[in-house]
Every structure is written in C-alpha cells, then in structure tokens.
Amino acid sequence: MLDLLDALGWTIAETPEANIHMTSPEGGVYVGWLPEDPSAWAREIVWRVQVLPADGEVWVQEFGVHTPSEAVAGFLAALVTHSSR
C-alpha cells in the first residue's frame, strides 16, 4: 500500500511512535496508519482516510483494528484510481 502511494508521489511521514501519515500530491486526501495513536485506539480505529474535495464537503472513512489490510488496500486503490481521473 505504501509502495502504491509513494509511486504516485504522495508525501509519506513516519513518526517515532510508528504512525504513518500520507498526503496526496495536491493535498486533497490524507491517509493515516495510526497503530500507536491513543485517540485512534480509543475509537478502535487504526486507519483514517480524509478527503477534502475542492468542490464538496469533507468526508472521512475510518477502519477498525479487525478490518483486513487487503480491504483497506482495495479501498485506497479505488480511491486513488477515481481521484486521478
């Protein structure tokens, strides 16, 4: 998943706590892998996707600790395919 986003030119930042923050080149999409974020764990999530469309309302999708990583990867692949059109 990181390889896909990196290949598409996304900014990827890792924290010392092992969280990873990824932002699309135009800044309209944020993806967070948050395994060590206390507020994420309090909500039982480890993935957060936030989309800031230029002509619409912000929307967020979060995935819990039991969501298969393949499902998250499929969601992100569909999102970046759609947003790159």
Q: Quick: pLDDT tens for 41-72.
A: 899 999 999 999 888 899 999 999 999 989 99
Residue 85 is predicted with a pLDDT of 46
Name the phi and psi angles at 13, rounded to 5. -125, 130
> Could you count the other beta carbons within 10 Å of the beta carbon of residue 36?
13
Supply 6's token pair.
């990196």
Closest CA to 49 of 26, 13, 24: 24
Q: How far apart, in whole angstroms, are the C-alpha atoms of residue 74 and residue 72? A: 5
Say what the pTM is: 0.88
Distance, CA of 62 to CA of 26 (rounded, Å): 21
Q: What pLDDT, in 10s, does the model give residues 20-40?
A: 999 999 999 999 999 999 999
